[in-house]
Amino acid sequence: MALTGVLRPGYVQLRVLDLDEAIQHYRDRIGLNLVSVEGGRAFFQAFDEFDRHSIILREADSAGLDRMAFKVARDADLDHFAERLLDIGVHVDVIAAGEDPGVGRKIRFNTPTSHVFDLYAEMELSESGPAVRNPDVWIAEPRGMRATRFDHCALNGVDISASAKIFVEALDFSVAEELVDETSGVRMGIFLSCSNKAHDVAFLGYPEDGRIHHTSFFLDSWHDVGHAADIISRYDISLDIGPTRHGITRGQTIYFFDPSGNRNETFSGGYTYYPDNPRRMWQAENAGKAIFYYEKALNDRFMTVNT
């Protein structure tokens, strides 16, 4: 499909309690490349990503999400999307180039769930990105869980329908799948795509705004998810659940926590989505199977723990 406008998730900035401890986790265990440490932040890139960075860690007194960013196709798209956001009543800030190293100007907006999003068009290419001339599968042998890219975030808040509406009406995202309580009409989970992935961002209902449920990293295969489980066990990383599979998105998955308590996911598979596909819907009474297809039940930690 011809991707225009918003292309994909670009980066996420997370708060961590101890930067050195977090660097070891994301570099050595998940397998990201450490690009730089500057201004109290660490910047990482996965081995199959072209851009300079996709993960930013900032040391702070509490864990959680600072902001998530999406890359757009052209600089002019920033003005286009700013106008559309303003047209539906969403405040927009323009951020000059240089707030993050190697990144051009951005526009920033907040959602009703109190999450901060950036759109940007320009980022420097990584010095350790994939080869483009007679390219080998990788340049340097992947480490740890062998994460190939930053894939998506799932975000918690109260009015997830209002937040999802911004992405659909102003940014041309599609709702690929959702979890709905048909009795009350409440949408419990909304999975949005700007591409042909099953989701690029998800909103999950929760009684408190501004929370992040997880940051997800893509792996090549179900075998690699099993390898991630081996890493988790070998280094006594705090496990949430898995390896297992989702009903929603069909992704193969394992969830675990970084040393600060931020939930990570490694994810493979998932169906291919096209905008003309009918929307998939799961009923609330099947929520267990929707989230954990094999277990058919939710654990309390997955539903209540976030940062």
* Averaged pLDDT of the chain: 96
User: Residue 2: its pLDDT value, please?
Assistant: 61
**pTM of the shown model:** 0.97
Q: At 257, list the tokens.
A: 């926590």
Question: To 5 degrees, how large is the angle CA 48–CA 203–CA 81?
Answer: 70
User: Residue 128: its pLDDT value, please?
Assistant: 86
Q: At 108, list the tokens.
A: 């920033």
**Residues whose CB falls within 8 Å of the CB of residue 115, separated by 6 or more in sequence, listed in order:** 65, 67, 68, 155, 157, 163, 209, 210
Question: To 5 degrees, how large is the angle CA 222–CA 43–CA 306?
Answer: 60
* pLDDT (tens digit per residue) in 19-66: 999 999 999 999 999 999 999 999 999 999 999 999 999 999 999 999
First to last CA, the chain: 35
Give the Å distances, CA to CA, from 45 to 24, 53, 54, 295: 14, 4, 5, 33
For residue 172, the one-letter residue type is D
* pLDDT (tens digit per residue) in 218-234: 999 999 999 999 999 99
- Residue 258 pLDDT > 90, yes or no? yes
* pLDDT (tens digit per residue) in 177-224: 999 999 999 999 999 999 999 999 999 999 999 999 999 999 999 999
Confidence of residue 254 (pLDDT cuts 50, 70, 90): very high
Strand partners, 37: 42
The CATH code that applies to domain 4-118 is 3.10.180.10
* pLDDT (tens digit per residue) in 98-109: 999 999 999 999
Pick the CATH number of 150-302 from 3.10.180.10, 3.30.420.10, 3.90.1330.10, 3.30.70.1150: 3.10.180.10
Q: Cα(21)–Cα(108) distance, rounded to whole angstroms?
A: 30
248-269: average pLDDT: 97
> What secondary structure does DSSP assign to the chain, as a single string?
----SEEEEEEEEEEES-HHHHHHIIIIIS--EEEEEETTEEEEE-TT--BS-SEEEEE-SS-EEEEEEEEES-HHHHHHHHHHHHHTT---EEE-TTSSTTB--EEEEE-TT--EEEEES-BPBPTTS---SS--S-SSPP-TT---EEEEEEEEES-HHHHHHHHHHHH--EEEEEEEETTTTEEEEEEEESSSSS-SEEEEE-SSSSEEEEEEEE-S-HHHHHHHHHHHHHTT--EEEEEEE-SSTTEEEEEEE-TTS-EEEEEEE-----TTSPPEEEEGGGHHHHH-TTT-S--HHHHH---
Q: Which residue has the higher pLDDT, 136 or 3?
A: 136
- β-strand pairing of 116-120 with 41-45: unpaired
* pLDDT (tens digit per residue) in 121-173: 999 999 888 999 999 988 889 999 999 999 999 999 999 999 999 999 999 99
What's the half-sphere exposure (Cβ side, CA atoms, 13 Å) at 277? 18
User: Residue 11: its pLDDT value, please?
Assistant: 98
Catalytic residues: 152, 199, 214, 246, 255, 265
Q: Cα(293)–Cα(281) distance, rounded to whole angstroms?
A: 15
Confidence of residue 298 (pLDDT cuts 50, 70, 90): confident
Question: What are the extents of the domains in the chain?
Answer: 4-118, 150-302
* pLDDT (tens digit per residue) in 65-93: 999 999 999 999 999 999 999 999 999 99
Q: What is the dihedral of CA 52, 58, 59, 63, to 10 degrees?
A: -130
Confidence of residue 303 (pLDDT cuts 50, 70, 90): confident
